[in-house]
Amino acid sequence: MFTGLISDVGTVARVEERGEGLRRLRIESRYDPATIALGASIACAGPCLTVVEVGPVGEGAWFEVEAAAETLARTTLSRWTPGLRVNLERSLKIGDELGGHMVTGHVDGVAQIVRREDLTDPAWGATARFTIRVPRTVAHFIAEKGSVSLDGTSLTVNSVEDDQLSVLLIPHSLGATTWGERGVGDLLNVEVDLMARYVARLAEAGPKGY
């Protein structure tokens, strides 16, 4: 489990095809390699991926993860190339502060930025409002003032209209994540709120589903 609070921005260092439907990626980060165990889960721009190899690089660590056909089909990982910067989050430990919302790292689909509006506030500094189109299959799970995970970042939904939602990024979030680099046309991994998914499933099942 994760919270959607980004702890580092890593860089894709290598992408290797491992046969049909399998891709291995090396990501460099500022994490201490001694703290990353083989088999550990790290959310990489949203998807929860398993560490299969790790080592030191500079003052941080590189780690390798593998993505199979299902992950490649449902996320942006099939488009990742060396040099791409990605949001990273380590998995929760018992006792950690839950500052965002409960995120599983199980991506529901790929969204696209359709508008970016940069704003400057004398008190806040530079902020940015993004309008994002999400797949219609997940749009009904998203509610105004609810939570959504976009590229692994826990965000509050400002507005929802049909298959589009808007979010506002404060200066800290723009600087501490990849959002400062994002623009119109960029693709994002989207994960809907866990509770919304279960409530919708129960509603579909009706009384006979209990």
Q: Which residues are catalytic?
A: 2, 41, 48, 50, 68, 106, 156
Amino acid at the residue 17: E
Q: What span, in angstroms and rounded, lies between the C-alpha atoms of 155 and 23?
A: 29
DSSP symbols for 52-118:
EEEEEETTEEEEEEEEEHHHHHHSSGGG--TT-EEEEEEPP-TT----S--B-S---EEEEEEEEEE
Distance between CA atoms of 27 and 29, rounded to whole angstroms? 7
Q: Which amino acid is at 130?
A: F
